[in-house]
Amino acid sequence: MLNFYPGPSKLYNEIEEHIHEALESGILTMNHRSKEFMMLYAQVQKTFETHYGLPKGYLVCFSSSATECWEIIADSFHGSSFLSIYNGAFGKKWAEVNEKLGNKVQSKVFDIHSESRFSFSEEELHSDIVCSTLVETSNGTFVSASVLHELRHSFPNALIAVDATSGMAGIEIDWHHADIWFASVQKCFGLPSGMAVMILSPKALNKIQYKSWDKHYNSLKRIVDNGEHLQTTNTPNILGIYLLNKRVEDLAHHKPFQKLQDRMDYLYDHFIHHPNLRPLIVEKNVQSSTLLTLKGDEEYIVRIKKELKDHNIIVGNGYGIWKSDTIRIANFPAHTDEDFERLLNLL
């Protein structure tokens, strides 16, 4: 089955070999306080620094999913003022989690069809935590580096948190633009679901140490205290961590960022002229390089999904307000040009 679903999606090609290596190494039977696991953790930290440009002083941590990261952040900074900036269902859900867990939340909703330049009220500018989504998985838009740079400039004292789930490993990231980055690994990393990576800046580490709550077992403070000793709060997904380390090394070798952008440019231009499908996002400059949402007649959408599945190809359903009249197509590093040639021939 060829999987273009936007997560879990197609697994990367070398994963079977790397799983076999993990089994042979014995790491999967080691406990998370062992020297062997601590060495693996140190390798992941170094791999992100060496191969994904992570600055020194930033800490790599792990959780079960990006949605758990929402809760960890909201719980750890309970009572803080949150500003959620979003244009789709997942950004909205994150804002709702922040509010349900007892925080003061303001929301700034922007249009999906243009790159927004924000103006903020005095109250918004005094927010403690600013939340943004790098790639909105419900529609395929993304927040550019220039917009993130503006947010960093507008909120010099706040912690900026970015859900990078459909972007990390597929989009080049300037880590200085935010303090808390996190992503589930079943999307651009091409890994099985069940793990997320969280990356914390020195500024975040300082605020976590002195200004965060330690009420819950998986609080950021406990995660950081353990992470700084190359350990985790609970028994982690050791196979996932092993594969993550291998995958970041592979991605550095293959350099996917420009390739994904070039392929998305081709896909976008192709579907502008398609008789039955067209890009949901009108302005190309806000179209993510990692996820394309296509809009069409509802009956056609139902039929094309069925016919693709009959040919062993899965595409993503629409999501939220676009559930019935769109499909979503992942453009992740694990996908090849040959995969897309097969998909486009059928479409």
CA dist., res. 296 & res. 331, Å (int): 19
State the pLDDT at residue 214.
83
Three-state DSSP class for residue 76: helix
- Per-residue pLDDT of the chain (347 residues), as tens digits, is 999 999 999 999 999 999 999 999 999 999 999 999 999 999 999 999 999 999 999 999 999 999 999 999 999 999 999 999 999 999 999 999 999 999 999 999 998 887 777 889 999 999 999 999 999 999 999 999 999 999 999 999 999 999 999 999 999 999 999 999 999 999 999 999 999 999 999 999 999 998 888 888 999 999 999 999 999 999 999 999 999 999 999 998 888 999 999 999 999 999 999 999 999 999 998 999 999 999 999 999 999 999 999 999 999 999 999 999 999 999 999 999 999 999 999 98
- Return residue ranges of the chain for CATH 3.90.1150.10: 2-8+254-346
State the pLDDT at residue 117.
76
- Return residue ranges of the chain for CATH 3.40.640.10: 15-252
Fold of 15-252: Aspartate Aminotransferase; domain 2 (3.40.640)
Instruction: Based on DSSP, count helices (H) and strands (E) in the chain, helices before strands.
Output: 12, 13
State the pLDDT at residue 148.
95
State the pLDDT at residue 211.
86
Contact 164, 131 (CB under 8 A): no
Fold of 2-8+254-346: Aspartate Aminotransferase, domain 1 (3.90.1150)
pTM: 0.96
State the pLDDT at residue 230.
98
**Residues 6+ away with beta carbon under 8 Å from 329:** 4, 6, 267, 291, 292, 293, 294, 315, 316, 343
Closest among 169, 312, 177 to 248, alpha carbons compared: 169
State the pLDDT at residue 254.
86
